Amino acid sequence: MNKPHSLYIGLMSGTSLDGIDAVLAKIGPNGETSALDAVSNPFTSELRQALFELQSPGPNELHREKKAGNALAIAYAQAVSQLLKKVNLQSSDITAIGAHGQTIRHQPHLGDMAYTHQTLNAALLAEKTGIDVIADFRSRDLAAGGHGAPLVPAFHAQQFLSSENLAILNIGGIANLTLLPKGGKVTGFDCGPGNMLMDAWITKHQGKAYDESGNWALQGKVSEGLLVEMLADSFFSKAPPKSTGRDNFHLAWLQEKLGSSSNHHAEDVQATLLHLTAHSALEALARHAPQTQKLIVCGGGARNNAMMNLLQVKAQHLFKKPIEITTSDSAGIDPQLVEGLAFAWLAWSYKEKRPANLPAVTGAKGPRILGACYPA
């Protein structure tokens, strides 16, 4: 007898610190996943600030971290409640929630002492929603010697079936690539900063959360010297498996590249940061998957028109053949929801006792079941 479809909710809040994407997913017996509805809530400025301050060491951080984990659980629970109301469903209709939490440290290079920390009071989330919560998806992969990131390639592989050599570029705060060669092995890795540095720079200069459609970047001129300086960071030439986060790329990193005697116009720096994201992603793609025929872009960066146009122009230079570049809308998935959907699928994988990491991606010793369950 065929098992019926089940309903899961994926909760994602990524390195951009923009807010929460809550996605209701219908998942079939073999993991076929579709988004039924979604709610995207920006963080309150208070929660965003608390989470932002936890990204680097500071006084009394254990207390502040536990409080932020509670506040995040409450904000997650509100998003779940709004989503259920929107589609007229009850908690009991949902098999489980897959909750990412907020990464505040990612230190995969410490051998036996390696760790990654996604803050979230998952017990409180289970208590408030009355739904099983699966959380802490990354730790087990790290325990098995992996990076615990990126975790989305396994989901991309089953979601974006293609008869072409396909690649997926997720442009969140950090950007990551999934390589899906026709009939070949799935690989993937973080390829560098996504929107994070551009967000930080426009916040510093204009107080805006992000550069709408990259319009400010388009007013500037790329500084080739600065671009070369930034691309010299050792992360870009490192061989996969590799992952990164705010631990590596942040405003202080950018200030250091700018140097103390910098006389760059602010909009030129923004233009250069746009090029940094597009160039580092495509250069990694050309190096590791020169046979790519199609690139699907997802994450909030897919909504940045200047980014999409630049990817097109740069791909023409880097690859000696045409490459089709589209957003995940073309595959019927809102780019902003792909990661949330992936975390619903990761919760399904846990419930089905299916390993969900790809050792070829994370560098783990083997396949592992990811996550920990806080029952309703």
Ligand X SMILES: Nc1ncnc2c1ncn2[C@@H]1O[C@H](COP(=O)(O)OP(=O)(O)O)[C@@H](O)[C@H]1O
Residues of this chain that bind ligand X (CB under 6 A): 14-16, 18, 172-173, 195, 199, 210-214, 299-301, 303-304, 339
Name the H helices within 232-304.
234-237, 251-258, 266-288
Q: Does 102 bind Mg ion (CB under 5 A)?
A: no
> At its nearest, how many Å lie between Mg ion and the CB of residue 339?
8
> At its nearest, how many Å lie between Mg ion and the CB of residue 82?
17
Residue spans of beta strands (DSSP E) within the chain: 6-12, 19-27, 33-42, 96-99, 102-107, 115-119, 133-135, 166-171, 174-180, 187-193, 294-298, 324-327, 372-374
Q: For 117, which DSSP code? A: E
> At its nearest, how many Å lie between ligand X and the CB of residue 112?
29
Options 11-19, 98-106, 162-170, 233-241: segment touching Mg ion (CB under 5 A): 11-19
Name 192's bridge partners.
175
Q: Which is nearer to ligand X, 116 or 165 (CB)?
A: 116
* Residue 275 binds: one of Mg ion, ligand X, none (C-beta under 5 to 8 A by kind): none
Q: Which is nearer to ligand X, 300 or 363 (CB)?
A: 300
Q: Does 16 bind Mg ion (CB under 5 A)?
A: yes
> At its nearest, how many Å lie between ligand X and the CB of residue 303?
4
> At its nearest, how many Å lie between ligand X and the CB of residue 144?
24
Residue 310 to residues 87, 110, 179, Cα–Cα distance (Å): 38, 36, 20
Chain residues 17-46 in contact with Mg ion, contact rule CB under 5 A = 18
> At its nearest, how many Å lie between Mg ion and the CB of residue 7?
22
Q: What is the Cβ-side half-sphere exposure of residue 168, based on CA atoms within 13 angstroms?
A: 30
Q: Which is nearer to ligand X, 152 or 370 (CB)?
A: 152
Q: Which residue's entry shows tokens 């122009």?
A: 313
CA 373 to chain centre: 22
Q: Which is nearer to Mg ion, 18 or 199 (CB)?
A: 18
Q: Which is nearer to Mg ion, 40 or 213 (CB)?
A: 40
CA 81 to chain centre: 24
Q: Does 199 bind Mg ion (CB under 5 A)?
A: no
* Residue 199 binds: one of Mg ion, ligand X, none (C-beta under 5 to 8 A by kind): ligand X
Could you give phi then psi for residue 236, rounded to 5 degrees?
-65, -35
Q: Which is nearer to ligand X, 40 or 91 (CB)?
A: 40
CB atoms within 10 A of CB 117: 18
Options 8-16, 189-197, 205-213, 268-276: segment touching Mg ion (CB under 5 A): 8-16
| Helix/strand number for the chain, H first, E second | 14, 13
Q: Which is nearer to Mg ion, 51 or 370 (CB)?
A: 51
> At its nearest, how many Å lie between Mg ion and the CB of residue 291?
31
- CA atoms 143, 144, 147, 148: torsion sign: negative
* Residue 299 binds: one of ligand X, Mg ion, none (C-beta under 5 to 8 A by kind): ligand X
Cα separation of 170 and 328, whole Å?
10
* Residue 195 binds: one of ligand X, Mg ion, none (C-beta under 5 to 8 A by kind): ligand X
Q: Which is nearer to ligand X, 167 or 273 (CB)?
A: 273
CB atoms within 10 A of CB 112: 6
Q: Which is nearer to ligand X, 10 or 173 (CB)?
A: 173
Options 10-18, 61-69, 103-111, 149-157: segment touching Mg ion (CB under 5 A): 10-18
Three-state secondary structure call for residue 236: helix
Residue 360 to residues 18, 124, 144, 344, Cα–Cα distance (Å): 30, 34, 13, 22
Options 12-20, 76-84, 198-206, 239-247: segment touching Mg ion (CB under 5 A): 12-20
Q: Which residue's entry shows tokens 């319009």?
A: 215
**Total residues interacting with Mg ion, rule: CB under 5 A:** 3
Inter-axis angle of helices 152-159 and 338-351, nearest 10: 100
> At its nearest, how many Å lie between ligand X and the CB of residue 279?
17
Q: For 34, which DSSP code? A: E
- Output Rg (C-alpha) for the chain, integer angstroms: 20
> At its nearest, how many Å lie between ligand X and the CB of residue 15?
4
Cα separation of 127 and 39, whole Å?
21
Identify whether the C-beta of residue 187 lies closer than 8 Å to the C-beta of residue 153.
yes
Residues within the interface to Mg ion (CB under 5 A): 14, 16, 18
